[in-house]
Amino acid sequence: MSIVKPPPLVEIEGPAEARGEAYGRATDTQIKCGVERYQSFLAAKGCTWDAVVRASSLLAGRLEEACPEQYRELNSVAKGAGVDLADVLLINGRSEILNAAGIDIEAEDRKHLDDGCTAAVAMPERTAEGRLIHGQNWDWRPECEDTTVILVVRRSDGPDLMTYVEAGGLARAGFNEAGIAITGNNLQTTEETWAKPGIPLSVIRRLALEAETYPAALQAVASSPRTVSNNMIISCARDGGEAFDLETTPQEIFWLAPDNGLLVHANHFVSPAAQAKVVDAGLLNGMDSLYRDRRVRARLEQAQDKITQSDFEDAFSDTFGHPAAVLRSPVSRSRKQSISATVATILMDAEARMMRVCQSPYKNSEYATYTL
């Protein structure tokens, strides 16, 4: 397999404005590249940039009201990178802008505009080293391998944090020095509207990573206004470990606890309450989600109580159902389907303050290690 360049490490500190501007300056080329690609992608789908700017303005107003510090940081990212706030908001609020805003994309195309992902947690009692392991495959546009970074935020008012994220974004998958980690998976329901925009998923995940305690991280997700549905696994590696899966919609939160020390989730609602209550639009659009989480769980179960990161690597490399597999290659499955691939496999040992990332694992087998 070919060697792919690992994402660069970007470290920022200080108050929101200072760290945002430093972040923007350090990643200006990647931010501009990401925005240009999204603009071309949207234009090919019949969406005008004016429509995106209008949606971004609504999103910005809600964000400034609900999360003023994060709003200031994103404003400063735009300033540092020399781009408009709308550009940075598209990177952070892609799901909200594309899935729920009334922009000019046909419904048949819009359902293919968000990421997939398969995520898993092994509790300490199931791992060889007695430490919680939390990881995921992030599935999205393959060209994003060039526009992702490992962002480290040094904070004087809370725990330091590390996150794998698209340049300009506040958070995706990551952990903090309090041992709290988070991953996200796309979910879709028929109840997502733009009537009252929430805050971007990137900001919600950042709020969880800024929390000093595990209950505060859970509450950060629960209390954030949401525009779209999303699944978030939030774990804590300390004091024996804990993990919950939150299946969120704009209106509600459904939850799942580890089963036999494992928690696995793909892109469909699993909790019985959610299955009884919501119309799972994501599952209707991608039935492969049903076997992706089953196969990851089955592979991890094979290791019994000696699960290692190597077992996670193997589970996340499963190609059953190719190209609609746990490990996705950039093969278009239909004329309407956007090309999707596993942009990265991300493995976290928050107790050891360590993240391992394999960029574009469908063509690369090398992991880069980052320490907070």
The string of pLDDT tens digits covering residues 3-40 is 799 999 999 999 999 999 999 999 999 999 999 998 88
pLDDT at 47 over 80: no
- What confidence score (pLDDT) does residue 331 get? 78
For residue range 224-237, list pLDDT tens digits in order. Answer: 999 999 999 999 99
Q: Give strand pairing partners of 135.
A: 120, 347
**Six-digit token pair at 367?**
């992991």
For residue range 136-182, list pLDDT tens digits in order. Answer: 999 999 999 999 999 999 999 999 999 999 999 999 999 999 999 99
Asked if residue 212 belongs to a domain, the reply is yes
- What confidence score (pLDDT) does residue 114 get? 52
Residue 215 — very low, low, confident or very high, per pLDDT cuts 50/70/90? very high
- What confidence score (pLDDT) does residue 297 get? 98
- What confidence score (pLDDT) does residue 108 get? 45
Residue that finishes a domain, picked among 47, 81, 110:
110
Asked if residue 4 belongs to a domain, the reply is no
Looking at the structure, tell me whether residues 267 and 298 fall in a common domain.
yes
Asked if residue 320 belongs to a domain, the reply is yes
For residue range 96-126, list pLDDT tens digits in order. Answer: 877 655 555 544 444 455 567 999 999 999 9
pLDDT at 354 over 90: yes
Looking at the structure, tell me whether residues 92 and 227 fall in a common domain.
no
Pairing between β-strand 354-359 and β-strand 368-371 as defined by DSSP bridges: antiparallel
CA distance 324 to 322: 5
pLDDT at 52 over 90: no
**Contact (Cβ atoms closer than 8 angstroms) between residue 351 and residue 238:** yes
Task: Tell me the CATH number at 64.
Answer: 1.10.10.2120
CA distance 327 to 319: 6
Asked if residue 137 belongs to a domain, the reply is yes
pLDDT at 48 over 50: yes
Average pLDDT, the chain: 92
Asked if residue 8 belongs to a domain, the reply is no
**Percent with pLDDT over 70 in the chain:** 92
pLDDT at 44 over 70: yes
- What confidence score (pLDDT) does residue 42 get? 78
Looking at the structure, tell me whether residues 210 and 184 fall in a common domain.
yes
Q: Considering its fold, how many domains does the chain have in total? A: 2
- What confidence score (pLDDT) does residue 327 get? 97
CA distance 124 to 237: 8
Residue that finishes a domain, picked among 66, 94, 110:
110
Tell me the whole-structure pTM to 2 decimals: 0.94
Range of the structural domain that residue 41 is part of: 14-110
Of the listed ranges 103-107, 185-189, 247-251, 299-303, the one predicted with least confidence: 103-107
Buried b (16+ CB within 10 A) or exposed e, 149-188: bbbbbebeeebbbbbbbbbbbbbbbbbbbbbbbbbbbbbb
188-214 mean pLDDT: 90
Residue 338 — very low, low, confident or very high, per pLDDT cuts 50/70/90? low
